[in-house]
Structure 1
């Protein structure tokens, strides 16, 4: 009996402490799928596009970054919300609610575009290392492909995501580059707020390229898949627990997409202040952008740019291969997860798709295909496929039978359809310029 009051006091004190305990603030530990997805958007092919924009048009292309940011945030929020609420990836949801021809058309285009993008990114990483250290480009390409594949297959998902978060720091190299060169700040502010760009054929084509590299379908599939995977952590996915997850997703996606577009802004800025100011160098790959910067900005700036290419490539390659694997596995009805253990016989088909996509990209590096052509056709595929996928995502996210009580609200619905409408204009412009 003597212990009774003490025990009761401890229980009451514990309940009081629990009531006083505040929710953990959203900080770095809460950042994950949105941050990684946004950083992966600035892959070597994206770096090449932003470098072309800065070198060819100078500060006059900076306005595209603040314009695309709200569109990018809206559509990535929709994809992440679908993955979180339904606990299915995009392909699984499309399979359940749309005819098979829609499903396989989307998955086929995604796989083609991702493989071409993989080839361009792996080649750019290999060329960047060659610029710094010399040596065989083909060997570097094979090494990067093998490294990425090994990490995806044999590293546990949670540890893998932690490493991907650290790789996003490589993108800060482009911020450093911008602050090591001379910038015309009045022109920067003027062209960002009130661009004086004449919309001729070349300018329109560049705007299409910037939109295509900023809003890409593989990012939709990847973020939805990562939010689906986060359900493996044992946290509740109903009631207050689900609402907390959706709040985290909003913050994570806003930070990730802002980070992505800010880096794109600084890449355009750095190349505008150097290459365009020097006469507008012809830039076709991210490695050429790095090489062109060396005589103008110095060896330190050149080394930072190369570091960013390799770091973003290591981040983007698993995103490209992983998003393709999720899409194909879900469409075929195969089990697939980055948490699967191949040594225990789990996820063999899923990892086979990752291997095929990654090694297919490596193989294309050894063909006579023009890397610029690869980037172009990858952009075409991404632009064409983005429009129907965005439309399908908006329909899915608005259906109560899919989302239950968590259908998207009127503000996000308006923003998402606005992004879809803008992408429709971009696709029409792309087809017209062909």
Structure 2
């Protein structure tokens, strides 16, 4: 018999206790969607935002990164709860409970966020390519071809394994953080500083919120647990998967912020305004050597860009399919689900085209994260309401935990929108 705790988490007191080995095997079988979406969360745009935060404002935005760890878990836990209990994607649930018009609004928001995100991912790849003298058309073209071939020849499980393997390269930034030797006194001072009267600071507050809680994450993880065939029995391990991913993604963001704060901000009075991806790499090379630093940075940035490109493109194809009704499983081939693969490829082409237009890649990435923050009311609003409306009683969001979730949602949305608008109009 299922029950629900005051925290809102479903429990099963009659379930048999697992041995450590069997518990680990059970977790390994379920692991994937949470870790993948969190590795994708620390994408090229997020890393660039963290780097800009550290270079311009030192450690003053570090506290925001720490606070966002439980918040991003709270948001994504609701998506897995909805996915494993209902067996439906996010767009499907919105259409079922609010109607087709609201579903299209939500998916339109998703497509805008995905388009912005894929530009970030391709810009990260292009920036790394330019560091090594590779033209943007060649680096982005090669990545696009790789991503298309991977999806055409793989099941969901294979795509998931590839994404995790690529995404783990982001952990190199933890090494750079340690080697940058941040000053403890400066870190503590930064943690206690909140210059909210400065529009530039507010703009980056919004960017950091948008860099952590993104619309496409909600759609992706809910669709992924459905495509993977996870059920209510997998809920506990899915939560662990998401919790571990939440910590990992924010540790990578913290590592990038600390690295640039300790190297660029600490050595330049008033901070540094980054204009190219190569400038971020330059923050790392003094500690690892020119070649080693560039190689590690390239691996981390390309890993972040690729895993996010996989997730974002799949999310757009899944989300649009949920409201149009076309077949949308990675288990289907091109003949069975042609529109799924057309949308997947189209998102990649849009991203490459915008990057090749010659726009400033750093500015694009920051503005995309601010856009994500401005879209939060729509995205989180639907998520929280569905958690109270679409779930059966044992799994419904309620009690004290519901109050906490609603409070965090309102504060996040208000802060994201206010910071974004204030930063845009005052900068």
Shorter-chain TM-score above 0.5: yes
- Encode CA deviations 1:14-50: one digit per residue, 9 max, x unaligned: xxxxx89737224555421111111111111111100
Equivalences for residues 215-230 of structure 1 within 5 A: 215-230=213-228
In structure 2, the CA distance between the partners of 1:323 and 1:419, relative to structure 1 (3 Å rule), is farther
Q: Count the aligned residue pairs.
A: 402
Equivalences for residues 130-141 of structure 1 within 5 A: 130-131=130-131, 133-141=132-140
- Encode CA deviations 1:309-349: one digit per residue, 9 max, x unaligned: 0111110001111111111010111121122222xx22111
* Corresponding position of 2:89: 89
In structure 2, the CA distance between the partners of 1:34 and 1:412, relative to structure 1 (3 Å rule), is farther
* Corresponding position of 2:149: 150
* Corresponding position of 2:322: 330
Alignment partners' CA distance in 1, 2:323 and 2:49: 31
Alignment partners' CA distance in 2, 1:427 and 1:333: 33
* Corresponding position of 1:209: 207
Mark the runs of 5 or more structure 1 residues left unpaired by the alignment.
Answer: 1-18
Tell whether 2:265 aligns with 1:276.
yes
* Corresponding position of 1:183: 182
Alignment partners' CA distance in 1, 2:185 and 2:422: 34
Equivalences for residues 41-80 of structure 1 within 5 A: 41-80=41-80
In structure 2, the CA distance between the partners of 1:20 and 1:392, relative to structure 1 (3 Å rule), is closer
Tell whether 2:302 aligns with 1:294.
no
- Calculate the TM-score normalised by the size of structure 1: 0.87
Could you say what secondary structure the match of 2:375 adopts?
helix
Alignment partners' CA distance in 2, 1:190 and 1:45: 27
1:391 to 381, 387, 400: 381
- Maintained 8 Å contact 2:136/2:356: no
In terms of mean alpha carbon deviation, does 374-383 or 259-268 score higher? Answer: 374-383
Cα distance, 1:287 vs. partner?
3.9
- Calculate the TM-score normalised by the size of structure 2: 0.88
Alignment partners' CA distance in 2, 1:273 and 1:107: 40
Mark the runs of 5 or more structure 2 residues left unpaired by the alignment.
Answer: 1-15
Larger Rg: 1
TM-align CA RMSD: 2.1
Could you say what secondary structure the match of 2:23 adopts?
coil
Cα distance, 1:95 vs. partner?
1.1
User: Which runs of structure 1 show a deviation greater than 6 angstroms over 4 or more consecutive aligned residues?
Assistant: none
- Maintained 8 Å contact 2:128/2:298: yes
Cα distance, 1:56 vs. partner?
0.5
Tell whether 2:123 aligns with 1:123.
yes
